[in-house]
């Protein structure tokens, strides 16, 4: 039997959608370190986009068709403390929904491959 993808381990797109909702509403938008980056953002669109992106990043169906990370973050001049806050919030959101430490570390490791495309743009 084939090993489950991380996407399957966390419960698929529906579960990831719940994680993303919690990630934004309870963590990111309440954090003054990063919430100002979302002041003019259509959060419903952002949540849909982020759910698809995280699903893809965790080995789910290839449904992410958004712009590149560098292009999406151009002009934001994100610094390491901003990136680290977002990564920490993602880990906390996954943990809130019962995802194990090993899976969280694997997820954050995959997301971390995009760090250079996000910072200092």
Report all structural domains of the chain as residue ranges with CATH numbers, in order of start.
Answer: 10-118 (1.10.490.10)
**Residue 111 CA to its chain's centroid (Å):** 7
Show pLDDT as tens, one digit a residue, over the chain (121 residues). Answer: 678 888 998 899 899 999 999 999 999 999 999 999 999 999 999 999 899 888 887 888 866 677 788 898 899 999 999 999 999 999 999 999 998 999 899 889 988 998 999 999 8
Q: Would you say the pTM of this structure is higher than 0.85?
A: yes
Distance CA 10, CA 18 (A): 11
30 Cα distance to chain centroid: 16
CA distance 88 to 85: 5
């Amino acid at each position: 039997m084939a090993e489950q993808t991380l996407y399957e381990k966390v419960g698929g797109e529906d579960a990831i959608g719940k994680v993303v909702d919690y990630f934004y509403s309870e963590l990111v938008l309440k954090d003054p370190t990063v919430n100002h980056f979302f002041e003019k953002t259509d959060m419903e669109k952002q949540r849909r986009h982020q759910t698809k992106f995280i699903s893809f990043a965790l080995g789910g169906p290839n449904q992410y068709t958004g712009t590149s990370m560098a292009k999406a973050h151009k002009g934001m001049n994100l610094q390491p403390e901003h990136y680290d806050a977002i990564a920490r919030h993602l880990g906390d959101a996954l943990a809130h929904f019962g995802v194990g430490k090993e899976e969280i570390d694997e997820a954050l490791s995959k997301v971390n491959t995009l760090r250079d495309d996000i910072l200092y743009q």
